Amino acid sequence: MSVTESFRFDYDPGTIVYGRDCVAGLERELARLESERALVITGTIVGRVSTVIDPVRDGIGTRLAGVFAETTPDKRLTTALDGADQLRKKEADAVVSLGGGSSLDIATVASVLAGDKRPRDTIRAEFRETGTISIMSKPLPILVVPTTLAGADLSITAGITDRMGMDTETLTRGGIFDRRLMPAALFYDPTLIETTPHQVLCASAMNGFDKGIESLYARNATPITDATASRGLALLKRGLPEIGVGRRNEETLHDAIVGTMLVQYGASRATETTLSLIHAFGHGIARGYAIQQGGAHAIIAPHALRFLFEHTDGRRDMLANALDVESNEDPDATAEAIIEAVVEVRDALRLPRRLQSIDDLSKEDLPTIASEVATDGFISNTPPELETTEEELERVLQKAW
């Protein structure tokens, strides 16, 4: 039995609300925050789906300032700047983010830029030079209404991109990391999540599922994140295969949604995050190619875990317990059982298995991806004995090809 010598857990999550039709309480939560006018920021598709947008409009009630339905998976800085313009134009004092992680990132950056009086070109120039944006004033409070299972909600990070012209080499990727970006409130409403298209929901679920796995083997894990990640993984292991075959009933939605809430609890905190090896690979694969991050995770997770277990214990007994697989006296057998459990969830969600299935990815690109993974910020959260050289990371990618 291992003993925790010491740890520090600095975490201040937003208010969490769960339940069918819980978005009806949005106006009440805005009143608690003393916010009079809230702008909904959502995607170009979600904003047209009446079964999703109408309950949110109704829930905000008389405090609705308007709807900005312009976000896309590209997460462009120009979209966040447009959203900030709308916040000022509508005299909004709060933001309601509706949708997946892309909408939340745009809403978060817009909340930061709403009080920024600098010219657009100055903000974009800073971002292209530094990969981030200075927070010049207190961000507006954000209320989050997720429609996916990516587990990107309880976070103090927002990713963003900026492109000059059409040349892909001019694409700048970066984001903002600040404890003031934690949402003020989060509404997990099964009524809305069950309307999300099947493939979108399944891909996002793999992203959330891997947050729980990584929180257990990250070098900065704590007993608190151990507890929430373990319980969350148990629920996801039970619920996600049912979601994968289309069974969206009260029990399976509960397991998938509550499991996602738990695995992300404490994963993103004031000075660090427990996201680690799989997410670093996911960034390297998804950022430059035609695949969403959940799909990238589906492909790489078994290979990343095998690499992890080749070099470190990876807290495999705790992972085995969380995933309800037998912890064998043979450590290698335990590791393989964990990987098999992850593959079972991946396959139940009907997600891609090989890198070669990505249309615009060539095998010649793998060294470049390995280089990006090696410098990803999440690599620092891997166990200290894991050797994450470019050569080793490329070997993992070759096996996933």
Over the stretch 290-329, which tens digit does the pLDDT of each residue have? 898 899 999 999 999 999 999 999 999 999 999 999 877 8
> What integer is the mean pLDDT of 194-214?
95
Domain range 198-400, CATH architecture = Up-down Bundle (1.20)
Percent of the chain surpassing pLDDT 90: 90
* Collapsed DSSP state (helix, strand, coil) of residue 370: helix
- Domain 15-193 sits in CATH 3.30.1280.10: no
In this prediction, residue 171 carries a pLDDT of 84
167: pLDDT strictly greater than 70: no
Q: What is the pTM of this model?
A: 0.93
Q: Is the pLDDT of residue 131 over 90?
A: yes
pLDDT, residue 2, reads 65
Mean pLDDT across the chain: 94
pLDDT value of residue 3: 67
Domains 15-193 and 198-400 share a fold: no
Q: pLDDT-derived band of residue 262, with 50, 70 and 90 as boundaries?
A: very high
Which residues face 97 on adjacent strands?
41, 144
Nearest by Cα to 153 from 96, 92, 72, 221: 96
Predicted confidence at residue 326, as pLDDT, reads 82
- pLDDT more than 70, % of the chain: 98
- What is the mean pLDDT of the segment spanning 36-61? 96
Per DSSP, helices labelled H in 96-222 are 101-113, 120-130, 190-193, 198-217
Per-residue b or e along 352-382, where b marks 16 or more CB atoms closer than 10 Å to that residue's CB: beebeebeebeeebbeebbebbbebebbebb
pLDDT of 166 above 90:
no
Give dist(CA 193, CA 212) in Å, integer. Answer: 20
Where in the chain are the domains? 15-193, 198-400
